[in-house]
């Protein structure tokens, strides 16, 4: 049940895990049963105590990226996802810049189509 983006881009926290998705993310990455990963956590919890295991678990949850909502299909999508996870502000700025460029192109097409020369050319050609 492993997804293709697990092997391509590293370890991700699962979005549908029980608590922050760390165990399920590790199980999917290493292709283990989620049961055995959770059992290993419980055993470590019993032998090392409450605080060390909880601390390591929370640190892992903090540093692991959440899994993508949909599988990543290209390197461009991977770069955007990584930039978004690491810096949502810079990803938003990149999207804004692309949308402004698209808006500029649409305005230029609208100017061409609504211009007087276009109307005369259309009438002449028909």
Name residues whose C-beta falls within 8 Å of residue 2's C-beta, 6 or more positions apart in sequence: 28, 29, 31
Kindly provide the residue ranges of all beta strands, DSSP E only, lying in 79-122, ordered along the sequence.
Answer: none
- Reduced to 3 states (helix: H, G, I; strand: E, B; else coil), residue 66 is strand
Residue 100 confidence (pLDDT): 92
| Assigned token pair, 18 | 């029980």
Quick check: 98 pLDDT over 60? yes
- Residue carrying the six token digits 């028909």: 126
pLDDT for residue 7:
47
Confidence band, pLDDT 50/70/90 cuts, at residue 101: very high
State the pLDDT at residue 30. Answer: 84
pLDDT at 6 over 80: no
For 36-94, what is each residue's pLDDT tens digit? 888 888 888 888 877 887 888 888 778 777 776 666 667 777 777 777 766 777 777 87
Confidence (pTM):
0.46
């Amino acid at each position: 049940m492993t997804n293709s983006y697990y092997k391509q881009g590293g370890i991700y926290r699962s979005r549908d895990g029980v608590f922050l998705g760390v165990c399920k993310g590790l199980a999917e990455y290493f292709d283990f049963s989620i049961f055995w990963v959770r059992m290993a956590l419980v055993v470590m919890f019993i032998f090392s105590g409450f605080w060390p295991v909880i601390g390591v678990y929370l640190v892992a949850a903090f540093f692991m990226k959440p899994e993508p909502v949909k599988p990543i299909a290209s390197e461009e999508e991977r770069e955007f996802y990584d930039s978004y996870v690491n810096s949502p502000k810079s990803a938003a700025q990149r999207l804004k810049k692309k949308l402004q460029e698209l808006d500029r192109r649409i305005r230029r097409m609208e100017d061409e189509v609504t211009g007087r020369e276009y109307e005369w050319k259309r009438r002449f050609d028909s």
